[in-house]
Structure 1
Amino acid sequence: MSDHYQLIQDCIDRAVAAEQARGRFRRSLHDTLPNLHRSIHLPQRDAPLHITCFVIRYIQAIPTWLKRLDQMCDAGGLNFHPVRELILHSFSEIPERQPHEHGLGSILDEAYLAHRTMEEINDMLQPLCGTPLLPMDPMVANLVVRELLGETLACQLDDLAEVLLQRFEPAELDPARLVSMILHKQRYDDAPGEWPDFAQHMQIELRTPTLTRHMDLSH
């Protein structure tokens, strides 16, 4: 792993270790979970533990996913540098900003920004490639994290992701570069376990009122 992504990995490792030692994020969820949107369905047994494990998995995927997106963009002749540098900068500020509070809660906004940016780049490049560049579907996971962060902060991070996207947006892709990027992508399609749907794995679902009523009537 390059120095860029090792710094992010080290930051994540510290946050997970802090949670394992103190359990601060998990305890905070006892106050947060009752306020989540009613469409988010959690396992009834120890929901705070499920959400904590989900958040850890969500955060831990970032260095690998970002690095692979970086590599594929490089294969396609796309400049991923602005995206990488801003996300790297956001992670590198954490210990200085909250030296005694470093944990899952302090890193969750950086994680959301990284995942939302990857989601947007994936959506942008899919029409050019004919397939998602990264084999991931983070929509439900991002919506759950959005609820944990709160609407105000989540909207600010969405705006920042949009700024990143504008800096990244390619004018066009050279056909030969496009083929190179797609061939590079195929390496990841053979390892589906590395691209989990975190929410589904943790039995976290979105249920619309219509679906809920339909399910109730079927009993």
Structure 2
Amino acid sequence: MDVQAISNLIDCARKHEEGSNHLQSFIDQQVEQLHHTIELPEDMASETLLKFSLEYINHVPDFLEALDQAAKELDIESFISPFLSIAEENFLAPVLQSQNNVGLFDLLDKAYFTHRLIEEVNDSYLSRIGCALVPINMTWANLIIHAILGEEFGNELDSIVEQTVRHMIRSQERYNDRMFKDFVNNRNPEQWVSTWSKWNGLSNGMGVELKFTSAA
């Protein structure tokens, strides 16, 4: 996985944002309606949302690298690497398609796709065998970015993610319930907890500054 290429794309997008302020302008337009679902500081609402969005995008390469390293340590690469490849290909699509002037606004939905993909993998395994494949929780952060992207577009991306995960799990033998249950039953619980504990800190604090209100 080319994590460095993802980081480089984010750096280029950040520089583009400095001149275009495209993401900032988009967030400025969204602030008023977001106030109905997200608790924001009155005097720095736009700035807070922009900072949160930047952290969410910046989180992607570290997140993917953490999952890749943890998967190697736990010998579950065969389960995780196909999804990491999908996330990488989607995120780097502008580079593969030779698109220039990619900004942070263009990467926000790709970051959302990445985080939602792993979340959907977890949800799928939790419902099928009662065990998360990747015990890293990005739910609150994803809900906030979904609100920023807008209900219609966010739902469209959710649908694509859900279809992708369903297709992968149904079409490949490695995701057979029995095979994964055998792995779960034979894994070393102490190593499992120890390995994921090292990486789980990456998601901590992503939803601290922004919390959905009770009316959301």
TM-score, normalised on structure 1?
0.77
How much has 1:190 moved relative to structure 2?
Answer: 3.9
Partner of 2:136: 135
CA–CA separation in structure 2 for the residues paired with 1:151 and 1:139:
16
Partner of 2:213: 207
How much has 1:35 moved relative to structure 2?
Answer: 2.3
Query: Which residue type is aligned with residue 179 of structure 1?
Result: R
CA–CA separation in structure 2 for the residues paired with 1:178 and 1:58:
35
CA–CA separation in structure 2 for the residues paired with 1:122 and 1:180:
19
Partner of 2:65: 67
Percent identity for Structure 1 against Structure 2: 23
CA–CA separation in structure 1 for the residues paired with 2:88 and 2:143:
23
How much has 1:183 moved relative to structure 2?
Answer: 2.0
Cα 1:133–1:28 shift into 2, 3 Å: closer
How much has 1:40 moved relative to structure 2?
Answer: 1.1
Alignment of 1:1-219 (within 5 A): 2=1, 4-36=2-34, 38-73=36-71, 75-76=75-76, 78-95=78-95, 96=97, 98-100=99-101, 102-126=102-126, 128=129, 130=131, 133-136=134-137, 138-169=138-169, 170-171=175-176, 172-173=179-180, 174-175=182-183, 179=187, 183-184=191-192, 186-190=194-198, 193-200=201-208, 203-209=209-215
CA–CA separation in structure 1 for the residues paired with 2:131 and 2:89:
32
Unaligned runs of 5+ in 2: 170-174
How much has 1:70 moved relative to structure 2?
Answer: 3.5
* Contact 1:98-1:106 at 8 Å conserved across structures: no
TM-score, normalised on structure 2?
0.78
How much has 1:126 moved relative to structure 2?
Answer: 4.8
The CA RMSD over aligned residues, in Å, is 2.9
Q: Give the total of aligned pairs.
A: 204
Cα 1:196–1:132 shift into 2, 3 Å: farther
Q: Partner of 1:199: helix, strand, or coil? A: coil
How much has 1:152 moved relative to structure 2?
Answer: 2.2
Partner of 2:172: none
* Contact 2:91-2:110 at 8 Å conserved across structures: yes
CA–CA separation in structure 1 for the residues paired with 2:94 and 2:155:
20
Query: Which residue type is aligned with residue 109 of structure 1?
Result: D
